[in-house]
Amino acid sequence: MAEKAPMSKVRETKKGFKGCQFWAGFDPAMCERSKAVIPRLLKSRNKLEKSVAKLKQKLMHEDMKLRLVVLQKWHVLSYLVLAAK
């Protein structure tokens, strides 16, 4: 992971020309607290995103199983109705 924030040296003009614009902008270094807190927040967010993805996949699997059960029950019911005629 980067120790410092990247410097903004390249800027695009209206005509699309890119060039070195050293004085166009400068990102100051992050404070020590930010360097400690932000990575932990990112790890926490990534962990939560993985958890959400797993739960979505589990929900999709359960939904597919439920649809299959309903389809099977309709199949049996239609067979019984048609066989009774």
Quote the tokens at residue 84: 């009774």
- The residue extents of the domains of the chain are 10-84
Q: Are 7 and 27 in contact (CB under 8 A)?
A: yes
Please give the full DSSP string across 11-56, using - where no structure is assigned.
EE-TTS-EEE-TTT---PPPPHHHHHHHHHHHHHHHHHHHHHHHHH
SS3 label, residue 71: helix
Residue 60 has pLDDT above 70, yes or no: yes
Residue 25: phi and psi, rounded to 5, are: -170, 155
pLDDT band at 1 (very low <50, low <70, confident <90, very high): very low
Q: What is the pLDDT of residue 68?
A: 96
